[in-house]
Chain A
Amino acid sequence: MPAVSKGDGMRGLAVFISDIRNCKSKEAEIKRINKELANIRSKFKGDKALDGYSKKKYVCKLLFIFLLGHDIDFGHMEAVNLLSSNKYTEKQIGYLFISVLVNSNSDLIRLINNAIKNDLSSRNPTFMNLALHCIANVGSREMAEAFAADVPRILVAGDTMDSVKQSAALCLLRLNRTSPDLIPMGEWTSRVVHLLNDQHLGVVTAATSLIITLAQKNPDDFKTSVSLAVARLSRIVTSASTDLQDYTYYFVAAPWLSVKLLRLLQCYPPPEDAAIRGRLTECLETILNKAQEPPKSKKVQHSNAKNAVLFEAISLIIHHDSEPTLLVRACNQLGQFLQHRETNLRYLALESMCTLASSEFSHEAVKTHIETVINALKTERDVSVRQRAVDLLYAMCDRSNAKQIVAEMLSYLETADYSIREEIVLKVAILAEKYAVEYTWYVDTILNLIRIAGDYVSEEVWYRVIQIVINRDDVQGYAAKTVFEALQAPACHENLVKVGGYILGEFGNLIAGDPRSSPLIQFNLLHSKFHLCSVPTRALLLSAYVKFINLFPEVKGTIQEVLRSDSQLRNADVELQQRAVEYLRLSCIASTDILATVLEEMPPFPERESSILAKLKKKKGSGTVSDVEDTRKERNTNLGVSSVFQVTSSPSSDLLGLGNSSAVNSGSPPAASNAASLLVDVFSESLPVAPLGTASAPIIEENFSRCFSTSMLDRYFWPSHISGRLLRGSPNISKNAFQTRSRLTALSAFRFVCKNNGVLYENQLLQIGLKSEFRQNLGRMYVFYGNKTSTQFLNFSASVVCHEPLNLNVHTKTADPVVDGGAQLQQILNIECLSDFVEAPVLNINFRYGGSVQNIAVRLPVTLNKFFQPTEMMSQDFFQRWKQLSDPQQEVQKIFKAKHSMDTEITKAKIIGFGTALLDGVDPNPSNFVGAGVIHTKTIQVGCLLRLEPNTQAQMYRLTLRTSRGSVSQRLCDLLSEQF
């Protein structure tokens, strides 16, 4: 038995532990434990009062049993009793039991807190510390409530012993972490800062931890700690190695405290005061200098302690990012470590250099170490070190070294640890795209990725290469040629088949002139892979085949033969079967023109944040990657470096996803309206809201298959050039919204009088789409804010102002403050019409884009006619009511010139869109239009009759409105007369 336990009193405990250790089996152990539990239970229940020693011994045994992994359901009371013992050893066991077996039994908590309170006020430092340690270990809310006042008081009291101060500081830190709301800042705050000056370095160490935690939450309250921390650090750094006696560790002066002080300084920007700043710079230089001095000891403890301080100093230098000399020195120092024989140092140097790479001052210096890092990638034995090397290569990559880095990563990929392959694939894909100078290199790189590590190439990666090829005319021929060659390999990865199928289906014609890659050869090559592929890939190949039918009429027969075979037409998989049936049928019945339209080349994809980057961020946790990414992105734009693939978004990009389901509608109908556009408009009203809502994630495969299968009919009816033009038609662009507001308002307000959905507003940054529905006096409007850029909108807010709050009420849900690049935000407005009104509400949008604040004000198309309920009535009723409304106040009439062609069907559609019923056969003159409806408001309902008389010869209209309220007649007349 070990020496210490012999002299100690608890012999029974030692015997019990020995017994347990001697048990040969788990069963024997359990048996022994049960015997002991029975024994202890009987002692606790026995008539004889147990003395403190026995109680301590049994509680300690229970604790041991618990730590072996067995449940303990008694003994808590005895443990609590020990807390009030006057003997340290008994108290200690009591507190230990409580700390380890935290139990929120409310009765006990009260007793425990009582005991703690007594010990805290005992003025016995040993007891006070036991109590403080217990609070710090348990850290429960109940304890925070009970001792929120005591702990700070003890911490700053003049007569508190040093060791108690240390415990009190960390106890307060724990309570602040677990229940910050219960620990208000107070008078003690400023005195805590001054503990940085304390004589006792243990107190300073504990206090620094506390101040770091507090300063992170309230930096302003602890600003004064900066100068004190610099002073303290300076004294430590310049001290002779023996000055600090107890706190010198292997010839390094107070290493842990130095690290803490350097961390505290990282809560703040560089000190503004020149003197303090100078002193800090001196400290940092001294630390860097010491790294170059010969070691005072060969022990690893010495170098570790010294380097702990050094790495923290480098962190601070990087954090300040303001002293180019220090940054470059730090980089050189880390460069030395890259070749150190200690693996730990190589690892930490790689890690630290990664952050250094993102500083503009040291980026170039970091790049000089590229060969060493590549070597690390090849030779390090510890996979986590190689991982850091990959991270660093990624961080130091720019245009100048991208080819080398990507090549090295690719060759490393062949032998890389499986655990990090996917991440390397993502990184290679991102770098290849970001720094591509020639598209051929980009395409080669991605195909190599698929060849080397096909299983680790996620969908995002191959989707992305297709997005890029589709969007770039000049890559397409090369891409087709390259995939064709890659597919020649007898065994190729399924991802390559996918990419190959897609690209040849779109651009196979570009290489079909070469007899070595004639249409038939292309087809046979793809089809030779077909049977080895999974269902989704086969589906994609079928789509490629039908595209071939359009591209190459000469292989139509061959492909129809394939589609017609039982293995396709009767395939057990419903998707494959459907595609085969549809494609075969399509190829048989459709004319060449229709085929060409349905199967035309995919339109360019809207530019969004790279899906791969998003994936990497997700994988690494957004915090870590995005920092590096963001700063690097900024630097790239600063230097004017841009990849060949940074395509600016084309004006036709359908941010709201409107383009794909072409039928959803748009701005005002083209000036020369015709039946077709009317149809579009009418259809748009009846379409579900889904296309607007589902816009954000572009998934190629979906687009691809949708184009062929589900939306084939859409495409058939709404070829993209029509919907495209509609979309682009008269967007109400206004950069300076306030100056042009009235004009803009008039335009958009009247534009939406007869319809509920469409694009309300659009400029280079933002597109606002609407979808609304009204019923009686209530309405709901879905507003879609589409970020057309690839940058986040920050502080985004959209609020509605009603100029007639008594008549119209709009309730807005607060919008999300951040709109990601390419993303779409939805806001719901609930509208209530209280009484008749004229002024439409205004939607005010504010957000930060880049450095500037954008303000946009748009009038919402909420007009009185939205609250119409149509009323059907017979001729007789109509004229009877018409006569009843004969008061001159009630009638408003307007004669005006036609602004659009006077098409009967369009006029009818507009009157229905206005909200009234269109009454046929009421007016004796069949070329006139008559309508009736009721305006619903919360307070009143207003019946309304209207008559529109066109004079085609004069190109004039006469519009008459009669309602029971003059103001309503006037407003409705104003609104409707603008529509023709």
Chain B
Amino acid sequence: TIRFILIQNRAGKTRLAKWYMQFDDDEKQKLIEEVHAVVTVRDAKHTNFVEFRNFKIIYRRYAGLYFCICVDVTDNNLAYLEGIHNFVEVLNEYFHNVCELDLVFNFYKVYTVVDEMFLAGEIRETSQTKVLKQLLMLQSLE
């Protein structure tokens, strides 16, 4: 079960925060800072997994962006690691070579992409073809 998804840049700016658990605003801010602290100190020789409170963070770095998913300790690490990559490939296709700025200017669309692929803390759809088809259909609506 996913507890939250965070996209942060190296400076710690949040580009997406999606919560699947109830936290109050202060707690969310604290979590964001903690995640940034534990993830950015790690290098390529480290695993993509970090124990985090009673959970674990599965993360992957793409250029200057860290994509982090917080899941239960018993969850399948590699499945979520590739879940991140699948999501990134969809973003890349949707925004035609996605970059950090796309996520800033189109933050409200990123939420739509997330909801298509992850819902209620679970994986909703894994087929890139199906997700992109749906996103293009929505794009065409006014």
Contacts and interface: CB of A to CB of B under 8 A. Distances in A.
Say whether A and B bind each other.
yes
Interface string B1-35: 00000000000001001000000000001000000
A245 B130 CA distance: 11
A14 B106 CA distance: 9
Contacts of A167: 119, 124
B26 to A, nearest CB: 11
Given A202-B130, A256-B123, A381-B45, 8 more contacts: A67-B107, A99-B111, A100-B111, A202-B124, A255-B82, A305-B78, A308-B76, A621-B54
B86 A249 contact: yes
B81 A173 contact: no
B33 to A, nearest CB: 12
A344 B77 contact: yes
Contacts of A96: 108, 111
A246 B127 contact: yes
B82 A304 contact: yes
Given A311-B76, A344-B81, A347-B49, A14 B142 contact: no
Interface string A372-401: 000000000110110000000000000000
Contacts of A249: 82, 86, 126
Contacts of B119: 133, 136, 166-167, 170-171, 174, 206
Interface string B107-139: 111011001000111111111111000100110
Contacts of B102: 2, 4
Contacts of B99: 2
A307 interface: yes
B14 to A, nearest CB: 8
Nearest to A53: B142
Contacts of A21: 104
B101 interface: yes
Nearest to A99: B111
A256 B124 contact: no
A64 interface: yes
Interface residues of B, number: 52
Interface residues on A, range: 35 or more
A964 B45 CA distance: 93
A347 B105 CA distance: 38
Interface stretch (A85-93, A476-484, A878-886): A85-93
A46 to B, nearest CB: 24
A957 B41 CA distance: 89
Given A139-B120, A171-B119, A384-B50, A202 B79 contact: no
A249 B106 CA distance: 27
Contact of A259 (B50, B76, B86, B95): B76
Interface string B54-71: 100000000000000000
Contacts of B77: 308, 311, 344, 348
Nearest to A212: B122
A338 B11 CA distance: 35
A2 B95 contact: yes
Interface string A135-177: 0110100000000000000000000000100110011011001
A664 interface: no
A174 B118 CA distance: 12
Nearest to B109: A4
A209 interface: yes
A206 B122 contact: yes
24 contacts: A2-B106, A67-B17, A67-B107, A87-B142, A89-B142, A92-B108, A96-B111, A163-B134, A166-B124, A170-B120, A177-B120, A206-B125, A245-B129, A246-B130, A249-B82, A256-B79, A256-B82, A256-B123, A304-B78, A308-B79, A344-B77, A348-B78, A384-B46, A384-B50
Contact of B126 (A67, A89, A177, A257): A257
A836 B102 CA distance: 88
Contacts of A283: none
Contacts of B50: 384
B124 A126 contact: no
A348 B49 CA distance: 10
B31 to A, nearest CB: 14
A308 B49 CA distance: 14
B78 A311 contact: yes
A343 B47 contact: yes
Contacts of B128: 246
B114 to A, nearest CB: 10
B85 A301 contact: yes
